[in-house]
Amino acid sequence: MALCLSSYSALLRRKVLISPHVERAGLMEVSLRATGRRPAGARHFSKTWKQSQNQDQKQNSSRRSTFGSRLRFALRNTKVEWYPIPVGLGIGLLGLLQFYKAQRAERERAEREAAGEPFDFQNAPARPKHRLSGPWQVQIMSTLPLKAMSRLWGRFNEIELPYYFRVPGFKLYSWIFGVNLDEVAEPDLHTYPNLAAFFYRQLKPGVRPLDPDIRAIIAPSDGRILQFGLIERGEVEQVKGVTYSLDALLGSATPTHADHTKTFSDHQTEPTQKNEAKMLADEEFAEMNGISYTLPTLLAGEPGGARKRSASMDASTTSKVDAEEEVKADLARGDGTPWYAPKAAANHALYYVVIYLAPGDYHRFHSPVPWVVESRRHFAGELFSVSPYLQRHLPGLFTLNERVALLGRWRWGFFSYTPVGATNVGSIKVNFDAELRTNSLTTDTAADKAAAEAAARGEQYPGFVEATYRHASRTLGGHPLQRGEEMGGFQLGSSIVLVFEAPMGTRKSFDAGWEEGKREGGWNWTIEKGQRIKMGEKIGYVDIQN
């Protein structure tokens, strides 16, 4: 009892600023706990205190009853937390949005065609993207704006890096992608202002020696051998079981020159059996290649200087004197026939090799043989990745991507050199071309106009823009390149496709076949599929004595 009274007296001595009702209610509760009895007025004071609390709550609720005030209070006092979403989900969302946009554009185009509206050249839409078939990953990738992404990546690569960040940044990149910094021509990494300059780096002289065998074709760049072999039925194998047409890669017969095959037929109205067989061989060979380069009148010009007016531009630059002399000497060591003479289909064949450049490889490409580049065809296609995964799942990948097909001739006949663009690698540089611009920032409406005009004339649009190098060397009619000479380069990595003509060799006996090891002479490979190779190393050779 004494303890309860002392507690009660201590509460009386506290000075707390509260209302009389609350004070009385509190004192009453203390007295109840102390005595264990409930006085008659306690119920009244407790009820009065609860009523005052309810009135206060009603007044507060009336003051913040408007939605705007509550919203401002929530926005001002609520903590905002950001949560990352998976990268795959973001890419998938972008792909779905782009797919919806493409579907809407296709519906609008179909409606215009159904209504019979004329083609508007001024407001022509961009060239339509290719519809791909394959796994869902490939279909989503086909809807992404890969060219715009490549241009943004190019802008990012050209951003000047802070001076003290260059060395650790480039060393980290080299460690991730396996770049050998001991081979770099400029050892001071501070001299590279951005990633683009480091990607396009030069190597020290002598780190890529050329194979001494003059019969050999050397690797045009660093990389990995994806595929190689013999072209059969005009098809090139992309990966095992996946092929694409040679016409789709290099383009069909040149649309800017006269059809010399028909002209030859007109002059020989009643050909003899010998001439008829020769003419048939020429036509079959041109049909197999898709390019009528074997006819003398196509490469050397029409008799008397007459020539059909060409729509192709001239992108010639001055060639080197020593390169011209080397190429002329190499062409003179051929099989004894003029370089423009048709090659017998039974003795010659077309071969191909595909080399993939990884991000850490040396990105400049060189000439694999002494040869003459006569023309260039720029295919403004897409920029899909050229990774081995996509090559396995996307048929005709190299025929869809943006590429520059360099066409010409070497000692044994036709030779083509095709750098193929890829995602983030749209910029293809050719040192001796004054007009080439790849991955343009502008919409390709000129290609749409040319395609529409060709359709109106009942002709097939070739799908490329052509340029010639005939004025680079008046003697050779093209731009001569020495063996191992630098031709250009990529930004980051991509692929190079070589297609060339070479002798097949002869069978050891009448019963022997044409398989590897069953013939003598001719072209022989010295590489394996999946092999890592460096520029200047031998990929094959022609087994001859001269």
For residues 295 and 449, the answer to whether their CB atoms sit within 8 Å is: no
pLDDT tens-digit map of 432-467: 887 776 655 444 434 445 555 666 666 655 567 788
The single-letter code of the amino acid at 380 is A
State how far the alpha carbon of 335 is from the alpha carbons of 1, 328, 350, in Å.
Answer: 129, 14, 16
- As a whole number of angstroms, the distance between CA 304 and CA 173 comes to 59
3-state secondary structure 307-357: CCCCCCEECCCCCCHHHHHHHHHHHHCCCCCCCCCCCCCCCEEEEEEEEEC
> How, if at all, do strands 538-543 and 522-525 pair?
antiparallel
Q: Of all residues in the chain, what percent are helix, strand and coil, respectively (each to 5)?
A: 40, 20, 45
Percent with pLDDT over 90 in the chain: 12
Residue 448 annotated as catalytic: no
Catalytic residue among 211, 221, 222, 378: 222
Share of the chain above pLDDT 70, in %: 48
Q: Is 379 helix (H, G, I), strand (E, B) or coil?
A: strand
Token look-up 């095992």 returns 240
Higher pLDDT, 275 or 70: 70
Give 421's Cβ-side CA count (13 Å radius). 29
Sheet containing 216-218, strands listed edge to edge, beginning at the edge strand earlier in sequence? 216-218, 538-543, 522-525
d(CA 252, CA 227): 23
Q: Is 81 left (phi over 0), alpha (psi -120 to 50) or beta?
A: beta
Q: What is the pLDDT of residue 149?
A: 62
* Phi-psi domain of 129 (left: phi exceeds 0; alpha: psi -120 through 50; beta: other): beta
Q: Contact 192/162 with Cβ under 8 angstroms?
A: no
Nearest-CA neighbor of 373 among 317, 334, 289, 437? 317
Give dist(CA 151, CA 427) in Å, integer. Answer: 9
Nearest CA to 323 out of 369, 368, 370 is that of 370
- Of the candidates 257, 363, 366, 479, the residue annotated as catalytic is 366
Distance in angstroms (rounded) separating the CA atoms of residues 46 and 189: 83
Q: Choose from 71-85, 123-137, 194-208, 415-429 the range with maximum mean pLDDT.
A: 194-208
Buried b (16+ CB within 10 A) or exposed e, 86-108: eeeeeeeeebeebeeeeeeeeee
Tell me: pLDDT of 320 over 50. Answer: yes
479 catalytic residue (yes or no): no
| Of 298, 267, 334, nearest in space to 468 by CA | 298
Could you give phi then psi for residue 276, rounded to 5 degrees?
-65, -40
R_g (Cα) of the chain, nearest Å: 38
Nearest to 45 by CA among 32, 57, 58: 32
CB 65 within 8 A of CB 83: no
Task: Judge whether 213 counts as a catalytic residue.
Answer: no
Tell me which of 492 and 416 has the higher pLDDT. Answer: 416
Residue 89 CA to residue 97 CA, distance in Å, equals 12
Q: Which residue has the higher pLDDT, 123 or 362?
A: 362
For residue 141, what pLDDT is reported? 55
User: Which token pair is 344?
Assistant: 């017998």
Q: pLDDT tens digits for 31-49? A: 445 455 555 555 555 666 6
Q: Residue 36 — left, alpha, or beta (φ > 0 → left; ψ -120 to 50 → alpha)?
A: left
- For residue 38, the model assigns a pLDDT of 52
Whose CA is closest to 142, among 464, 438, 446, 401? 401
| SS3 of residue 507 by DSSP | strand
Q: Are 494 and 390 a contacting pair, CB within 8 Å?
A: no
100 vs 456, higher pLDDT: 100
Range in 82-96, 190-204, 280-294, 405-419 the model is least confident about? 280-294
What size, in residues, is the chain?
546
pLDDT at 59: 60
Active-site residue, selected from the candidate residues 142, 319, 416, 494: 494
pLDDT at 384 > cutoff 80: no
Other CB atoms within 10 Å distance of the CB of residue 138: 16
Q: What is the pLDDT of residue 360?
A: 85
**Calpha distance 277→98 (Å, rounded):** 55
pLDDT band, residue 144 (cuts 50/70/90): low
Q: Is the pLDDT of residue 262 over 90?
A: no
